[in-house]
Amino acid sequence: MTGARRRWLFAAAAVLALVVVLFAWRSIQAERGFDAATSVATSTPLAEQGVQGGTRVSPSNTLGAPVPVPATDNGAHGSPIDPWWRCVPPVAGDLLPIDRFASGHVRIARTGEHLLVTITDLRVASYDSELPDVRVLLSEGTVVGERRGYWTRHGEDDDLGTIPSDVGSITFDLEAPRGVPDPVRSLVVLDPDSGDVLGGAALIPTE
């Protein structure tokens, strides 16, 4: 066998070996890629993986214990979407003179389905007439002032009725009140004849 023929056979054998090695390498890489893309089967139920019926359940920490859900604080007075008389009282305030004169203390509290409006130490006076009676309003308006007040009347009022001016102390018991403004910001007392505002109290939550 000539030297040229021998060199040609060696070259062909080397090329064939290289082709075999490349083919084997590509086959191994293809199998590895297929294995990586295939989902790994698990015996853990979906509910334990955090999925239940397609919906994620409560999250857990790294130890598997459920993460605490913040407690819903409805408050002692119920839902914040309840009407004012359910969710705000007790409120209180002192009567200040406005157009004429009034003094005393006002407190509004809730007991079950009852709203109790209490006025204590009531004193009223007018400059030009006797005042046998006074009207009492719950108002959405505001009373501002220190020694003498000013009533900004706006929104709704609820007329609690007329009471003797010398009653001293009285409690209005309103059962499941529906006509009470939302919110009630003040209580005012008026001259039932002239409509003069004798005095008013700004009502502030006490708890």
Among 139, 151, 159, residue whose Cα is nearest residue 102: 151
Confidence of residue 18 (pLDDT cuts 50, 70, 90): confident
Supply the mean pLDDT for the chain: 77
Confidence of residue 19 (pLDDT cuts 50, 70, 90): low
56 or 172: which carries more pLDDT confidence? 172
Confidence of residue 146 (pLDDT cuts 50, 70, 90): confident
pLDDT of residue 33: 56
User: Is the model's pLDDT at 163 over the cut of 50?
Assistant: yes
Bridge partners of 101? Answer: 125
Cβ atoms of 187 and 137 closer than 8 Å = yes
pLDDT of residue 32: 60
Residues 6+ apart with CB under 8 A from 107: 90, 91, 92, 117, 118, 120, 206
pTM of the model: 0.61
User: Is the model's pLDDT at 62 over the cut of 60?
Assistant: no
